[in-house]
Chain A
Amino acid sequence: MMWLSRNLNWLFAVVAAVLILAMPDIAGNEYALRFYTLMLIYTILALGLNVLVGYTGLVSLGQAGLYAIGAYTAAILATRLGFGFVPCLILGMVFAGSFGILLAYPTVRVRGVYLAVVTIAFGIIVENIAIEWDSLTGSWVGISNVPKPTLLGLPLNHKMYFYIVGGCALAAFAVNVNIMNSRFGRAMLATSQSEIAAASLGINVTALRTLAFVLSAVTAGAAGVLYVFLNKYISPDIFSFSDSIRFLLMVILGGAGTTLGPVVGAGALSYLPELLQQFGEWQRFVYGALLAIVMFVLPRGIVGSAADILHRFFPAARRETDGDKRPLGEIVSIGPAGGEVCLEAKDLSLHFGGLAALNNVNAQLSSGEIHGLIGPNGAGKSTLLNAVSGIYRVNSGRVFFLGVDTTDMRSHQLARRGLARTFQNTELFQEMTVLDNVWAGFHSDYRTGLFGAILRLPSYRKEEEKHRRAALDLLNFVGLTDYAYEKAKSLPFGFQRKLEIARALAVRPKLLLLDEPAAGLTQSEIDDLRDLIIQLSDHGITIVVVEHHMELVMAISSQMTVLDYGEVIAKGTAAEVQEDPKVIEAYFGSPEMLAPPPEERLDDAEREP
């Protein structure tokens, strides 16, 4: 059972390969074979779209536009310039891929439904340019008389062409599986679940989204080229908005984010029209009704929901979780940061509209210390962490990390320099396993790139194994070994906090920012946390703790900074800060403040020197 579930994808690939080989004989006639060729073309397209929608979490409602770009490129090159099948395929993929880059550009700033509108707009633009650019595309009439495909000078008959498309589909499937089970797949899933946390681990979110768009565009382009040489004729009406919806539905219906889902979805939605013919004029109505029913009954798609049910009856077998149980110092080789000053904030100011969240904040952090950052609610503590870790842009002032001006750096660049953090409300990758959460943290540590991952080169496998073991060791270090294959969201809250720290350690931090690590923990969990922080500090990691739990923060901090209304009101050791009248006033208010009426308070304030 275990072997089966782990190798399901490859088992499926073998079965599919055999089916493809036998299909021309099973199909019997040309019409049926043509139908199966088309089904495979849709499968290729859906597999590419799955990388975008399923893994990276970006919705494209304009995939027909990319499909059209591939198709028109091939049709024009083949009919006008006499290009053969293979050059057309390559150029179609390249051209569609470059539009993928163009389409990815808005994702740097545009999100969610806004991005969905960008993709809708893109699809409609392509469709209408195909209509308008008469001299090139033949407008509504389209392009016909596409020559028969040839390979190495030999004309391909229907059977051979089916095998070529089948080979492409198998290749697309293999690429899909290998990306999913690689650092790229993990990083994409991580990005889709928490962009901010992914960036805080050194993952370049923009680059990853561009990659996903390009991969989906290249496959859509390939599918378009294959379609042209199958159909020998194209016109704008097969690349409309409803086709984009149908392509998206293939992925969702089959199960977005699963490897087999797009295959099942493309098969089902290709076959459906044949099945629905008996409904006559009610065909489209039944199509809509089926989609609605599937969304209600199987919200995670056919394969996704089936996998959920399987997991309920056959819980994941306990896999190897031990790792090497190495001590922390050997896992991630963290050492003390060089230099005296680890982090310095100079005159930082940050406004949200009229509200000054930070007002000329100056703070310095010596290497190796545990620094407590306290202050009443709304004092600007989290804002300060977000400002120094590259999540917020400050309005003025500079930040120096290990002597380098990092004010304008993005979160992922800071992470790669050794700045790690956790979040106030925990930002775990909820749908990923505990192990994958930590494993994703090693993303920027890999040397092998995309091709190494797709081709499963030995160097890549070696790295994968190394980082997997390191992730397991980190889990062992925080005591979460037993939960390695559970989903992060199923962990109790205290364990989620620990997991977040383990994940942050994967970036080999020199500086670790902990935003309210004790919030929501029980007393015994807080004791564990204190020991953990001290242990990390002993390894030379400089630590900042934002905390409301005074007992904890006073006990562990060697230095403290107190913020109130975005300004630093006190600095010093725990004992010094505790005695500071300004700190006492910020937390408890001054006794006079409560008693006299407001006018007198104003007088008091004026009388102050």
Chain B
Amino acid sequence: MSSVVQYLLAGLGIGGIYALVALGFHIMWSSAKAVNFAHGDTLMLGAVLTIVFLDFGLPMSVAIALAIGVSVIFGVVLERVAIRPFAAQARSIGWMLTTIAIGIMLESYATISFGAFARPLPSPLAEKPVIILGAGVFPQELLIPLAAVAIVGLLYFFQRRTQLGRAMRAVAFNREAAGIVGINVTRIAMISFALASALGGLSGILVAPVIQASATMGLLLGIKGFAVAIIGGITSAPGVVIAGLLYGVIEKFVDGYISTAAREAVGFSIVILVLMIWPQGLFGRKEIVKV
């Protein structure tokens, strides 16, 4: 019994990270029909920079704010130089490769300057586990899924109650029509990437106390976050969050009862199966081809 609770709570913890990463992919996709394939490295940036700023002796709050700030700048610059020139062409895979290339550069630079080893990010919420029904989890792990749900709630509110949020939804629905009614589509894309990257940096900071920060921490988190966004239905914010939490929980159970390698094999098999049954993802909107 206690192991079931253990896997469930730990699964929600890591699932919350997948959900936040997937939410970032959802925001980027909605605005540009393209994503940053190096989004995993945005997480790494947030986590690693927070540690670096703490090393400088800055207080935690300032370090976190600065790290998220740099993540935002990274996302905005990347959208401008690596995505916008390529996203205009239909069926282009240029943006996949340019963002992967920039991800490689960032990861390698982090390895050189930060070191190849992993370091924990100290957090008051990851010092002493709490015992719930016999299962020990860090409060940090409980915080992550709550943060994911709270953020998707805020996003929902923002997209429906503010002018900017409504403009973002308009762009997601139809870029051309949004442009015609006077919405600055490129500005919306910039803001969306800024928002997604802020979420990415924040996710990195949230997860680092649990899994440790390293230059290479982003790769698998990024891939899984993207896979989760796709199976959740990348057009639906609540969809990707639900898919993220579910994926995390399933993963922990397979990990616990079988093995770590089986975790990836089973997890990604589920990804393929879901897509074969629901080609637009679980909660995605079906697009009607117009000719």
**Using a CB–CB distance below 8 Å, which chain A residues touch chain B?**
57, 59, 105-106, 109-114, 116-118, 120-122, 124-125, 127-129, 131-132, 192, 196, 241, 245, 248-249, 252, 281-285, 287-289, 291-292, 295-296, 299, 352, 382, 386, 391, 423-425, 427, 515
Chain B 216-258 interface residues, beta-carbon cutoff 8 Å to A: 219, 223, 226-227, 230-231, 234
Asked if B96 and A116 sit within 8 Å, CB to CB, the answer is yes
Q: If the complex has contacts A241-B223, A292-B105, are A423 and B265 also in contact, measured as CB distance less than 8 A?
A: no
Q: In the complex, what's the smallest C-beta–C-beta distance from A509 to chain B, in angstroms?
A: 17
CB contact between B104 and one of A120, A192, A288, A424 (< 8 Å): that residue: A288
Asked if A292 and B265 sit within 8 Å, CB to CB, the answer is no
Residues of A within 8 A of B105 (CB): 285, 288-289, 292
Cα–Cα, bound, A299→B262 (Å): 39
Residues of B within 8 A of A423 (CB): 291
Asked if A288 and B108 sit within 8 Å, CB to CB, the answer is yes
Asked if B259 and A295 sit within 8 Å, CB to CB, the answer is no
Cα–Cα, bound, A164→B288 (Å): 50
Asked if B261 and A288 sit within 8 Å, CB to CB, the answer is no
Extra inter-chain contacts (12) besides given A114-B230, A114-B281, A295-B86, CB under 8 Å: A106-B279, A110-B276, A111-B279, A120-B226, A122-B268, A128-B261, A129-B261, A249-B97, A285-B105, A287-B104, A288-B104, A292-B102
Interface size class of B (residues with CB under 8 A): 35 or more
Asked if A285 and B98 sit within 8 Å, CB to CB, the answer is no
Q: Does B103 contact A (CB under 8 A)?
A: yes
Asked if A284 and B276 sit within 8 Å, CB to CB, the answer is no
CB contact between B275 and one of A106, A131, A289, A299 (< 8 Å): that residue: A106
Cα–Cα, bound, A287→B97 (Å): 13
Q: If the complex has contacts A109-B276, A382-B291, are A120 and B97 also in contact, measured as CB distance less than 8 A?
A: no
Cα–Cα, bound, A287→B280 (Å): 35
Q: In the complex, what's the smallest C-beta–C-beta distance from A115 to chain B, in angstroms?
A: 8
Prevailing SS type, chain A contact patch: helix
Cα–Cα, bound, A350→B179 (Å): 31
Q: In the complex, what's the smallest C-beta–C-beta distance from B268 to chain A, in angstroms?
A: 4
The chain B residue with its CB closest to the CB of A197 is B291
Asked if A291 and B104 sit within 8 Å, CB to CB, the answer is yes
Q: Does B4 contact A (CB under 8 A)?
A: no
The chain A residue with its CB closest to the CB of B268 is A121
Residues of A within 8 A of B59 (CB): none
Q: If the complex has contacts A292-B98, A292-B101, are A106 and B262 also in contact, measured as CB distance less than 8 A?
A: no
Asked if A289 and B291 sit within 8 Å, CB to CB, the answer is no
CB contact between A129 and one of B227, B265, B289 (< 8 Å): that residue: B265
Asked if A117 and B265 sit within 8 Å, CB to CB, the answer is no
Asked if B97 and A124 sit within 8 Å, CB to CB, the answer is no
Residues of B within 8 A of A424 (CB): 291
Q: If the complex has contacts A288-B101, A289-B105, A295-B94, are A128 and B275 also in contact, measured as CB distance less than 8 A?
A: no
Residues of A within 8 A of B129 (CB): none
Residues of B within 8 A of A117 (CB): 226-227, 230-231, 271, 275
Asked if A281 and B265 sit within 8 Å, CB to CB, the answer is no
Cα–Cα, bound, A122→B272 (Å): 8
Cα–Cα, bound, A292→B93 (Å): 13
